[in-house]
Amino acid sequence: MNGARILLGVTGGIAAYKAAALTSTLVQRGALVDVVMTAEAERFVAPLTFAALTGRPVFGSLWDAPERIPHVRLVRENAVVLVAPATANALAKLAHGIADDLLTAAVLAARIPVILAPAMNDAMYANPATQANLATLRARGYGIVDPEAGFLAERERGIGRLASEERLLEALARTLERSRALAGKRVVVTAGPTRERFDPVRFVSNASTGAMGIAIAREAAARGAAVTLLLGPTLLEPPAGVAVWRFESARELLDLALEHAVGADVTVATAAVADWRPATVAAHKRKKGADVLEEPMLRNPDVLAELGARKGATFLVGFAAETDDHRANARVKLRAKHLDAIAVNDVAGERGFGVGRNALTLLWGDDGERDLGEGEKPELAARLWDALEARFACS
Ligand code: CTP
């Protein structure tokens, strides 16, 4: 924690007093803590308490700071945001992008990791509205330190107590360490489907949305890498802080990949590339005409195999979309495309394309294998980078 720059957000719950104790511990361990309090938090603990503990000004309203945009400066100068306690109201605002005070504006402007530690009455915590907000926030890559069961302010027992100081410190330490894990690395990620034009209004494509690749790019950026995302046609938003190049066809992706991925430290190819394209692209919309359409299809370049042939020192990771005999099929691709690792993605049934959840297994070498389990794509992206970091550290 020594020298760590932490932005601590305090919202208006009884547990706000615990944020003062946490601040004291952080300062004793050498962290530099900026505290932002909501107006409601100031009803529970005086800003003076935090000012005295940190020896720094405490930020309250968007309007009383001497400069015009304190919310942006605060998230640029700090390495991590921890909101503790995070009330149900704060979670609801953050889940919906409401930025009507300094803290919520700062979190919305944050490109640094954000950790939320909910604390509230057990019924408020269990309410589906709160649970849905937490699921949204988690899926967007926010770290959540779950509340604990115990004695609540209402003199009853239930789930809703702010996580212990030990768990909050652990989450901060882990997040800070993680935010430096890929510092100095150049990472390229390919994501999304391709579109192979058939005529001006039709194309051949697939159900990929690019969600997995976008999550992998976002996670790499959160770990400090300089990330380039090569992104196919999708309505999903690319992550902030990442250089984005758009492609439509496999051949456009190949051009971009050869330009950006050759020489990168790590390339992760999640794009669902069409293996074939219509042999001709009609200049005008094709008319119905014949009952049976016979259209020759040409083989597309294999982008990943091309990268494998030129990979040099790049750690090259492929994805294998499989519906059966997953591992055996993926190992063939691992070898044939000269990859360092391949993540097997089960696209049968309810998982894989177009859904929030996925299941991955990482394979490398002759028999290296790590089951990354099932989960939301941002969660899996974090587990994938944990596993990859361990691999390229020893390769
Ligand atoms: N890939 C690629 N270019 C292609 C096809 C696939 O770069 N023309 C990449 C994908 O981005 C992925 C990996 O190769 O990282 C495996 O893709 P997948 O569709 O599972 O396999 P294919 O190699 O196309 O083999 P098959 O369709 O026969 O299973």
The CATH code that applies to domain 186-394 is 3.40.50.10300
Which pLDDT score, from 0 to 100, does residue 392 have? 82
Q: Indicate which atom in ligand 1 lies nearest the CA of residue 250.
A: 8
Please check whether the two domains, 5-178 and 186-394, share a CATH topology.
Answer: yes
Summarised one tens digit per residue, pLDDT across range 211-263 is: 999 999 999 998 999 999 999 999 998 987 899 999 999 999 999 999 999 99
Which pLDDT score, from 0 to 100, does residue 353 have? 64
Give the mean model confidence (pLDDT) for residues 57-75. Answer: 81
| CB 295 less than 6 A from any atom of ligand 1 | no
| CB 148 less than 6 A from any atom of ligand 1 | no
Which distant-in-sequence residues (6+ apart) come within 8 Å of 160 by Cβ?
118, 119, 120, 121, 122, 124, 125, 147, 152
Cα-to-centroid distance, 77 and ligand 1 (Å): 42
* Residue 160 clears pLDDT 80, i.e. is over it: yes
Look at residues 200, 207, 222, 180 and name the one whose alpha carbon lies nearest to residue 350.
207
Q: Whose CA is nearest to atom 21 of ligand 1?
A: 320
| CB 306 less than 6 A from any atom of ligand 1 | no
Rounded CA gap, 283 and 29, in Å? 68
- Give the domain ranges of the chain: 5-178, 186-394
CA atoms lying within 13 Å on the CB side of residue 330:
29
| CB 261 less than 6 A from any atom of ligand 1 | no
Give the mean model confidence (pLDDT) for residues 309-316. Answer: 94
Cα-to-centroid distance, 180 and ligand 1 (Å): 31
Rounded CA gap, 284 and 350, in Å? 37
Cα-to-centroid distance, 278 and ligand 1 (Å): 18
Cα-to-centroid distance, 150 and ligand 1 (Å): 51
pLDDT band at 321 (very low <50, low <70, confident <90, very high): confident
pLDDT band at 120 (very low <50, low <70, confident <90, very high): very high
Q: Please tell me the pTM assigned to this model.
A: 0.82
Rounded CA gap, 181 and 383, in Å? 13
Q: Cis check for the bond before 85: say yes or no (omega within 30 of 0).
A: yes
Cα-to-centroid distance, 272 and ligand 1 (Å): 7
Are the C-beta atoms of 256 and 170 separated by less than 8 Å?
no
Which pLDDT score, from 0 to 100, does residue 354 have? 62
Query: What residues act catalytically?
Result: 206
Q: What is the mean pLDDT of the chain?
A: 93
Look at residues 356, 314, 306 and name the one whose alpha carbon lies nearest to residue 336.
306
| CB 100 less than 6 A from any atom of ligand 1 | no
Q: Tokens for 60, please give them.
A: 């309250």
Are the C-beta atoms of 216 and 384 separated by less than 8 Å?
yes
Summarised one tens digit per residue, pLDDT across range 9-42 is: 999 999 999 999 999 999 999 999 999 999 999 9
Q: Could you tell me the fold of the domain covering 5-178? A: Rossmann fold (3.40.50)
Which pLDDT score, from 0 to 100, does residue 367 have? 92
Give the Å distances, CA to CA, from 190 to 216, 236, 272, 304: 10, 14, 9, 10
| CB 273 less than 6 A from any atom of ligand 1 | yes
Mutate to test the pocket of ligand 1, among 189, 304, 317 (most ligand atoms within 8 A of CB): 304
Q: Whose CA is nearest to atom 19 of ligand 1?
A: 321
